[in-house]
Amino acid sequence: MAYTVVGQSVSRVDAVAKVTGKAKYTDDFSERDMLIGKVLHSPYAHAIVKSIDVSKAKALPGVEAVLTYKDLPEIRYATAMPGVIEAIATDEVSVAELKYGTAGHPFSLDSSHRDKEDRHILTQKARFVGDNIAAVVATDALIAAKALKLIEVEYEVLEALTSTEAALKEGAPLIHDDCERNILASGGYEIGNIEEAFKDSDHVIEGEYETSIVQHCHLENQVSHAYVDSDRRIVIMTSTQIPHIVRRIVAQSLGISWGRVRVIKPYVGGGFGNKQDVTIEPLNAAMSLAVGGRPVKLELSREEAMIDTRTRHAFKFKIKTGINQDGKINGIHISAVSNTGAYASHGHSIASSGGGKFRYLYPTKALKYDPITVYTNLPVAGAMRGYGTPQIFFAFESHIEDIAKKLNMDPIEIRKKNLVEVGFVEPLSKNKIMSCAIRECIDKGRELIKWDAKKALYKKQSGDKRRGLGMACFSYASGTYPVALELAGVRIVMNQDGSVQLQLGATEIGQGSDTVFAQMVAEILGLPMYMVHVISTQDTDITPFDTGSYASRQTYVTGMAVEKAALEIKQKVLGFCHSMTDTPAHLLDLKDQWIVFKESGEKVQALEVVAMQSYYDRVHAQPITSDVSNNARINAIPFGVTFAEVEVDIKTGKIKILEIYNVHDSGKIVNPLLAEGQVHGGVSMAIGYALSEQLLFDEATGKPLNNNLLDYKLPTIMDTPKIGAAFVEKEDPTGPFGVKSLGEPPIVSPAPAIRNAVLDATNVAFNRIPMTPQRVFEKLKEAGTI
Amino acid sequence: MYDIKGYYDAETVSEATALLAENPNLKLIAGGTDVLIKLHGGQLEGAELLGLRKIKSLEHIRVADDGTIVIGAMATFSTVFNNPILRELIPILTEAAISMGGPQIRNIATIGGNVCNGATSADSASSLFALNAQLKLQAKNGERLVPIREFYLGPGKVALNPGEILTEILIAPEDYKGFGGQYIKFSMREAMDIATLGVAVVCKVQSGNFAEVRIGLGVAGPTPLRCLEAEEYAKGKKISSETLAEIGKLAVKSAKARTSWRASKEYREHLVEELTQRALKIAVVNAGGAELV
Ligand SMILES: Cc1cc2nc3c(=O)[nH]c(=O)nc-3n(C[C@H](O)[C@H](O)[C@H](O)COP(=O)(O)OP(=O)(O)OC[C@H]3O[C@@H](n4cnc5c(N)ncnc54)[C@H](O)[C@@H]3O)c2cc1C
C-alpha cells in the first residue's frame, strides 16, 4: 500500500521537548515540602533479622518516620489517618504480612496464571545483598542517609546460595519456606517424540552454553514520589512502563482497593523491561502513609538500582540435536536452568517465553524443552529486552554453528535447510506464520558484509590478529498472545480546527511509540503530523486502559487500537459531512485536511468547517471523539539475522567488532529512522552482552562487586562499531499497516553472531558470554593458540 | 546531595597554604572528579573543602630556560592533551591524557589531582614515572622537590605532608631529550575506563642498540612502578625481537600483580610481558630507530 505519513522518517513528536529540556521526567516534578525516603539494604545475601532498633534513627532531628518489616502495620489506616485508607484486608492481615507479586503482567482472573506472590514491602528475611529491611523518611537526603546508619540490626546470617548449583544441592537452606527445594517453577513442553527423532537421525550432537547476569542500565534510575491527595487517595508519580499495573500492585501490596491508587507516568528515561515491574512504588506509598500522606520522594542511586531492581536471568543450557546427513534437523532437546535470584518477579515466564519464541524459527518433528527456574540469593531477575530469547538464541545459534562445523556444512545452508515457511502453524500457540522474509534477510546480510569474499580471504590466518565472520538468526513475537491478555486502549478527540489529541494507555519510554501512533492517526485522518497532539503522560485516572509497554507490543497491538480509534473518527467526520452536504459518507475520504471525493479527489468540505460545525451547530453539535479498546487475539512473528565480522587480538584476548549488520523482517516499517534507532540500541546492548557486561558477585557472600558504571562494563560509544540496520519489508496481513514488532528483536541475535565470528577467527568455541579479554586469553591458552 | 560542611576558595598559592596551615581538616579539591566520587560513596563525610580552581598560576605549562618542562598542577587533562609543547616533547603524557575518562572529565580533571589521588591506575602516572618527573610541593613555610617514585607510598597514599600543595610537575631535559616513547592503556573500554594495565616506555636508540630504556607501569602493583631490572638489561643491547622478549619477561619480575575479580595475576603478567614489548616496538621508531618486523 502507498501511504503518505506511514513509512516516512518524520521527526519524533517529542524531539524538540527532549533536546530543549522541556520534557519533564519524574524528578523534574516537585511537591511542596517534599520529604526524602531512603532504604536500608541488607548487607547479607541470606539472613534473618533477629532484632532491629530504630530509636537512634528516630531521634535524629529531621527524621519524620522509620519503617521496618514490623512497623508497616495497619495502624496507619486505623489511627494515623482514620478512615482514609480502608484496608480490604481483614483485621487479621497486616500490611507487613501481605505478600504480593511484582511482575508487570496483566492481571489474570484465573488464579493459577498469576505470578507468584513472594514479596513484602519490607522483609524480616534478607534474600539478597540489597534486600529492603527498613526505610526512613526525612527532610533531606543527607539526614535520611545518616538515619540509615543509626538503625541497629542484628542478623542471623544463613548460607548464601550464590549459584543455581548451590541452591539445588541436597539439603540447601530454603530461600522461601513455601517452596520445596529452591525451585520457583519448572516445566516446558514436548512436541512430537524426541527419542524417536533422535533414533531416526544420522547424528546426535550435544552442546552446553551459558549466559550471565546483566543489567538494563537505563539512563534514568528508578524514581518516584507519592502523597495522599485531597480525595484521600494515594497518588504516585513514577518512572514506569506500566502505570495501570503499578496501580494494581501498589493496591495489592497495601491491601486496599485498586481505585484508591492513582499512578502518573511522565516522560521516562528508558526502561528496557526493568520498569515492567513494580519496584519502589509500594514502599514509596508506605513511606507517604507513614508521614500522614505528605509527599515523599524515593530515588535510587545507580549503585542501588543495579542490584535492587531487576536483572537479566543467567541461563545454563544443555542442547541435544538429532540431524540428518543432509542437514535436516529431526529433533531438538533443550534443558535450561534459569537463575531468577531472590524473588519471583517475572520468574519462570522468562524461560517459558524464550522457549516459546524459539519455536517459530526451525520447525522440527520433535522439540522438547525442559526449563527450571531456580531461586538464589542474588538480585532479582525480571524482564529485560528480549525476555528470555537472547539466552536461548545464544545457545541454539551457537549450537547450530557447532553442528555445521562438525558436519562440515555451510552455516548458512544448514540454517536455510531448517527455516520456517509461511503457513506454518505453531502447534502449541496455534499462531500462524502469515509473513516471513528470513531468507531474504539472510541474503541481504550476506551481501552487506561481503560474506563470501571475506570468508575466502580469512581461510588461513596465523598472525596475532585474526579475523572471522559469523551470523545468527532469530524469531520473536508481537506481543504475548495467546499467553496473556493483549488489550489496548486509545482515545482521540478532534478539536475545532480539525487537529486531534491522541491519548494512549501504551507508554512512550523512549522507543518512539508516540511518534508512530501519531503517524498512523495522521495517515488515516489525512492530517499533517503537527495536527496530531500526543498526550505522552499516562495517568491512570484519565488514560484509557492498556497494560503498558513491553513484549514489543506497542506498534502492533496498540497500533490496532489506534487504527480502530482513528477509523472511528474518520467515519464520524465523513458522517457529519454527509449530514452537512448530503454526500453519502461512503463516497468520501479525508485528505490534506479536506473531505474529498474518494474517487476523484475533488474537494467537498474543509475539515475545519466540519469540525467547527461538530462543536457549535445549534441542532447537530456533537464533538467528534472516539474511545476504543482492542483485544488483539492474534500474533505476528518477526524474524531477523545478524552478520558480524570480528578481529581477535590473540595475545591480549581482545575482540574488536569490525562490521555488524542486523537485517530485520518486521513487516512494514512505520518510521525508518526510528526503526534504525531501535536496531542501533538493541545491537549495542547485545554487544555488551556478548563481550563485556556481567554483574559479578562474591561467591561466598553474594556481595555485588561491580554495581556501578565504572566497574560494570557497559560499552561506550567508542566501543560501538558502526551498526548497519536493514529491513526487508513484507507487510504482515494481521497487523495495522502490515507491521510486526521491532522493539526487542534487535538484541536477540548479535551475541551468537559475534561468538560464531570469534569461532571462525580462532577455531575456538566460546560457549559462555561475555567473552571478556581474560576469558578469551585463558581459553586460547588452553587451546594452545597462544 | 553531598555531605559538604564548608567550602573555601583560594586565589593564590600562598593564600591556599595559609588556609591549610590554619585548618588542617581542609580537604583540597581541584577538579573534584575523585573527591566528589568519594563523597558520593561515603568514604568522605562532612568535608571541609579548599578549592584550588581560582589559582590560575597553577594552570600554566611551559619550558624553563634550562629546558625543564613545567606543568602546573591545575592543568586539566584537556589542557595537557592540547598543549603543543607537551605534544612535541613528551607525547607519552599527552597520549595518556587523551586516554583518560571522557571529554567532560578531561575538561575538569587535573593532572595534579590525578597524581595526588595516589591511584595505581592514574593514567598520567606511568608516563610521569617513565619520565622521572619531580613534584614541587609547597607549604606555608617552604617548598621541596620529590621524585615521583618516592611520592607514591601505597594505594591512595602519597607523600604529601599536612599543609602541602602540589604546585608543579617538572621533567628535566636529560630525562626527555632524545627519547622516543609510547603509552598503551589497556582497558576493557575505549573510554570512561580505568586501566587494567598502563604501560609507558621511553627509550634512546644508538646505532641499532638501546642506549637507555625506562618503563613505567600502572596497575601492575599497588602503586605505579618502574621495571628497573628490565631497564638495566636493555642498556646497550641490540634492538631485536629477542631483546624485546627478554625485556618483557624481566618487566614481569618488577610487577607486583595480584589476582582480583578485575583480572587474574596470570593475565596481568601476561599483559605486562606482551604490552611492554608492543610499546617498546613503537617507542623505538619514535626514537628514530628502525621498525622491527
Ligand atoms: C567518570 C570518571 C572517569 C575517570 N576516568 C579516569 C581515567 O580514565 N584515568 C584516570 O587516571 N582517572 C580517571 N578518573 C579519576 C579522576 O578523574 C582523576 O584521578 C583526576 O585526574 C583527578 O583530578 P581532579 O582535579 O578531579 O582531582 P580532585 O578530585 O579534585 O582531587 C583528587 C585528590 O588529589 C588531591 N589534590 C588535588 N589537587 C591537589 C594539589 N594541587 N595538591 C595536593 N593535593 C591535591 C585532593 O585532595 C584529592 O585527594 C575518572 C573519574 C571519573 C569521575
B40: part of which helix (H) or strand (E)?
helix B35-41
The 3-state DSSP composition of chain B as helix, strand, coil percent (nearest 5) reads: 40, 25, 35
On whether the CB atoms of residues A759 and A404 are closer than 8 A, the answer is no
B97 lines ligand 1 (CB under 6 A): no
Peptide bond into B173 cis (omega under 30): no
Cβ–Cβ below 8 Å for B1 and A141: yes
Cell numbers describing residue B103: 571529554
CA B205, CA B90: separation in Å to the nearest integer? 16
Domain holding A456: CATH number? 3.30.365.10
pLDDT score of A567: 98
Pick the closest to residue A704 from A714, A712, A695 (CA basis): A695
Indicate which atom in ligand 1 lies nearest the CA of residue B73.
41
Range of the domain at B250: 181-286
Closest residue by Cα to atom 48, ligand 1, is: B117
Query: CA nearest B278 in A: which residue?
Result: A651
Cβ–Cβ below 8 Å for A142 and B189: no
In chain A, how many domains are there?
3
| Residues B191, B125 within the same domain | no
Per the domain annotation, does B91 fall within a domain? yes
CB-based contact, B193 to chain A, within 8 Å: yes
A positions 667-706 inside 8 Å of B (CB): 692, 696, 698, 705-706
Per the domain annotation, does A337 fall within a domain? no
| Mean pLDDT score of chain A | 95
| Residues A613, A647 within the same domain | no
Looking from the CA of A7 toward its CB, the CA atoms found within 13 Å total 13
Give me the residue label for grid cell 534437523.
A329
Mean local confidence (pLDDT), A681-702: 98
| Residues A442, A499 within the same domain | no
Per the domain annotation, does A332 fall within a domain? no
| Residues B162, B60 within the same domain | yes
Cell numbers describing residue B286: 619514535
Which residues of chain B have a pLDDT value below 50? none
For chains A and B, count residue pairs whose Cβ atoms are closer than 8 Å: 50
Domain boundary among A606, A631, A656: A631
A357-374 b/e (C-beta count within 10 Å ≥ 16 → b): bbbbbbbbbbbbbbbbbb
How big is chain A, counted in residues?
Answer: 786
Per the domain annotation, does B38 fall within a domain? yes
* ipTM of this complex: 0.96
On whether the CB atoms of residues A610 and A500 are closer than 8 A, the answer is no
Per the domain annotation, does B135 fall within a domain? yes
Per the domain annotation, does B291 fall within a domain? no
CB-based contact, A713 to chain B, within 8 Å: yes
| Residues A494, A468 within the same domain | no
| Residues A685, A722 within the same domain | yes
Cα–ligand 1 centroid distance for B87 (angstroms): 22
Cα A597 to its chain centre, rounded Å, is: 44
| Residues B200, B263 within the same domain | yes
CA A610, CA A569: separation in Å to the nearest integer? 12
CA A99, CA A118: separation in Å to the nearest integer? 6
Cell numbers describing residue A669: 516499517
| Residues A73, A109 within the same domain | yes
| Residues B88, B167 within the same domain | yes
Q: Which residues does B16 contact at the CB level (< 8 Å), separation at least 6?
A: B10, B28, B50, B52, B55, B165
**Res. A454: pLDDT tops 80:** yes
Rounded-to-10 torsion of CA A77, A83, A89, A90:
100
| Residues B101, B30 within the same domain | no
A346-391 pLDDT, tens digit each: 999 999 999 999 999 999 999 999 999 999 999 999 999 999 999 9
Pick the closest to residue B29 from B7, B14, B11, B57 (CA basis): B7
| Residues A582, A649 within the same domain | no
| Residues B46, B62 within the same domain | no
Range of the domain at A84: 31-158+217-308
Per the domain annotation, does B293 fall within a domain? no
Domain boundary among B142, B174, B206: B174
B207-241 pLDDT, tens digit each: 999 999 999 999 999 999 999 999 999 999 999 99
User: Could you tell me the CA-to-CA distances from A516 to A491, A539, A771 in Å, in that order?
Assistant: 16, 21, 37
A419-452 pLDDT, tens digit each: 999 999 999 999 999 999 999 999 999 999 999 9
| Residues B219, B250 within the same domain | yes
Q: Which residues of A touch B3 (CB under 8 A)?
A: 142, 145
Domain holding B126: CATH number? 3.30.465.10
Indicate which atom in ligand 1 lies nearest the CA of residue B35.
29
| Residues A504, A446 within the same domain | no
Q: Which residues of A touch B4 (CB under 8 A)?
A: none
Domain holding B32: CATH number? 3.30.43
Cβ–Cβ below 8 Å for B188 and A772: yes
Peptide bond into B155 cis (omega under 30): no
E-only strand ranges, A505-563? 532-535, 538-539
| Residues B42, B77 within the same domain | no
Least Cα separation, residue A722 to chain B (angstroms)? 15
| Residues B105, B63 within the same domain | yes
Per the domain annotation, does A166 fall within a domain? no
B69 lines ligand 1 (CB under 6 A): no
CB-based contact, A777 to chain B, within 8 Å: yes
| Residues A741, A757 within the same domain | yes
In chain B, how many domains are there?
3
Per the domain annotation, does A8 fall within a domain? no
Per the domain annotation, does A356 fall within a domain? no
A369: part of which helix (H) or strand (E)?
strand A366-375
pLDDT score of A1: 67
A214-256 pLDDT, tens digit each: 999 999 999 999 999 998 899 999 999 999 999 999 999 988 8
| Residues A91, A142 within the same domain | yes
Cell numbers describing residue A182: 529452591
Domain boundary among B156, B174, B192: B174
Q: Which residues of B touch A141 (CB under 8 A)?
A: 1
A625-671 pLDDT, tens digit each: 999 999 999 999 999 999 999 999 999 999 999 999 999 999 999 99
Pick the closest to residue A744 from A506, A558, A551 (CA basis): A551
CA B270, CA B276: separation in Å to the nearest integer? 10
| Residues A414, A492 within the same domain | no
B75 lines ligand 1 (CB under 6 A): no
Domain boundary among A308, A338, A361: A308
Domain holding B207: CATH number? 3.30.390.50
A positions 122-151 inside 8 Å of B (CB): 140-142, 145
Residue in B190, B261, B263 nearest the CB of A696: B261
pLDDT score of A332: 98
Cα–ligand 1 centroid distance for B112 (angstroms): 8
For a mutational test of ligand 1's pocket, the pick from B39, B81, B105, B197, i.e. the residue with the most ligand atoms closer than 8 A to its C-beta, is B105
| Residues B125, B139 within the same domain | yes
Domain boundary among B140, B156, B174: B174
Per the domain annotation, does B34 fall within a domain? yes
Per the domain annotation, does B270 fall within a domain? yes
For a mutational test of ligand 1's pocket, the pick from B77, B114, B126, B193, i.e. the residue with the most ligand atoms closer than 8 A to its C-beta, is B114
Angle between helices A411-418 and A438-448 (to 10 degrees): 170
CA A506, CA A243: separation in Å to the nearest integer? 9
Per the domain annotation, does A61 fall within a domain? yes
Q: How confident is the model at residue A83 (pLDDT cuts 50, 70, 90)?
A: very low
pLDDT score of A521: 98
Q: Which residues of A touch B270 (CB under 8 A)?
A: 777
| Residues A641, A605 within the same domain | no
User: Could you tell me the CA-to-CA distances from A83 to A251, A262, A587 in Å, in that order?
Assistant: 16, 18, 59
Per the domain annotation, does B88 fall within a domain? yes
**Res. A88: pLDDT tops 70:** no
Q: Which residues of A touch B275 (CB under 8 A)?
A: 652
Residue in B188, B194, B261 nearest the CB of A692: B188
| Residues B27, B92 within the same domain | no
Pick the closest to residue A443 from A418, A469, A421, A471 (CA basis): A471
CA A473, CA A776: separation in Å to the nearest integer? 24
A547-600 pLDDT, tens digit each: 999 999 999 999 999 999 999 999 999 999 999 999 999 999 999 999 999 999
Cα dihedral across residues B38, B41, B42, B46: positive or negative: positive
pLDDT score of A256: 86
Per the domain annotation, does A331 fall within a domain? no
Give me the residue label for grid cell 591545575.
B74
Residue A551: which region, alpha, beta or left (left: phi > 0; alpha: psi -120 to 50)?
left
Q: How confident is the model at residue A143 (pLDDT cuts 50, 70, 90)?
A: very high
- Please return the burial class of B65, using the count of CB atoms within 10 Å of its CB with bins 0-12, 13-18 and 19+: exposed
pLDDT score of A371: 98
Domain boundary among A631, A666, A690: A631
Cα–ligand 1 centroid distance for B114 (angstroms): 4
Per the domain annotation, does A598 fall within a domain? yes
Query: CA nearest A301 in B: which residue?
Result: B40
CA B183, CA B123: separation in Å to the nearest integer? 10
| Residues A716, A752 within the same domain | yes
Domain holding A140: CATH number? 3.90.1170.50
Query: CA nearest B5 in A: which residue?
Result: A142
| Residues B248, B263 within the same domain | yes
